[in-house]
Structure 1
Amino acid sequence: MKIRLDRPTCQAHGLCYAVNPALFPIDDDGYSTLTEHELAPGDEHDARAAVAACPEGALAIRSE
């Protein structure tokens, strides 16, 4: 399972970072630096919470 960020859609609200700073690091301007990341089993809950929290819909989970 992977989490993916659509960088052009991200508006630096920082809600994903608030859910899990280690999973969703941000740059100096507040934008997530995540591109695509394989989720560890323990990260699935936080990933789903971040997807739900993002008002821009910039995050997506893919099962592959």
Structure 2
Amino acid sequence: MKILSWNCQGLGSSPTIRALFNLLRQKHLDIVFLMETSLTQRKIDHLFQHSNFSQSFIVDPQ
């Protein structure tokens, strides 16, 4: 099982999104844990629509 845990500041920026999707493609990850993002559930859902992940659990920032 391959897991990525990333404290990813700037997940809304294009370079960070590209880096994330490159990791997803190259490593064939089973679980991705993104922490301390400032993105809402709607934005994260939109981001992962183009990934192979079928389930997610998101906590909106406070």
> Could you tell me the TM-score, scaled by structure 2's length?
0.34
Q: With structure 1 as the length reference, what TM-score do the two structures score?
A: 0.33
Higher relative contact order (Cα pairs below 8 Å, separated by 6+ residues):
1
